[in-house]
Each structure stands twice: as C-alpha cells, then as structure tokens.
Amino acid sequence: MPDLVAAVAEPSRRRLLQLLGSGEQTVTQLASHFTVSRSAISQHLGVLADSGLVTSRRAGKFQYYRLDARGMAALRAELDSFWTGELDQLVRDAQALGRT
C-alpha cells in the first residue's frame, strides 16, 4: 500500500491536488501555476499517480490528469485515522499527567 501521507507531504503535490480539484487538466496547464519545469511537474504527477491519488488519460499529444476519487477517499481516511489516534493519545497523556 502506498504511503499517501508521504505523497502529499511535498507542497507542490498538495497544490497539484488542489488545482485538479477544479477538474481535469494537462501537464502544461498545471505547470503554468509553478516556477519549476514541466518535467518536474510530470514527476510530481507520477508520484501522485503511483499513490493512486490521480489518474491520467492520453488524448492525442496531451496527457490529462484528474483526481482519483478512490485514492482521495483513502487519503481522507488515513488522515482522519491519524488525527483521531493522535488526539486520543494526547488525551491519554494528559490524563496520565493529571494522575502523577
């Protein structure tokens, strides 16, 4: 299973996910929002695709990317689980400190 949190830890990848939230876009369209090369954006998209967060399709010479609903749901579940677990641990720690 891919490490979804690691995939979105990089700020450019998070921004790509935000941009794709408005719909399918080409690498060129996405790259216009960044100061790095199209090649760098393609590499970030490759990481997101390998993680199952985006999918792509080819139409002629263009590669179109879009969010993958299943991958995004898995990311949400992982983040929800992480925060729930962390908050539960904070409560346990606070309770333990109160007893000492």
* Band (1; pLDDT cuts 50, 70, 90): low
pTM for the model stands at: 0.82
Q: How far apart are the C-alpha atoms of 85 and 100, rounded to whole Å?
A: 23
Q: How far is Cα 26 from Cα 16, in angstroms, rounded to an integer?
A: 11
CATH of residue 60's domain is: 1.10.10.10
Query: What span, in angstroms and rounded, lies between the C-alpha atoms of 39 and 58?
Result: 17
Q: What is the span of the domain harbouring residue 77?
A: 4-99
Summarize the confidence of residues 35-53 as an average pLDDT.
96
Name the strand (E) or helix (H) holding 87.
helix 69-99
What domain count does the chain have? 1
pLDDT mean over 39-68: 96
Amino acid at 30: L
For 65-84, how does the pLDDT look when each residue is reduced to its tens digit (9 = 90+)?
Answer: 999 999 999 999 988 887 77
In degrees rounded to 5, what are phi and psi of residue 53? -90, -25
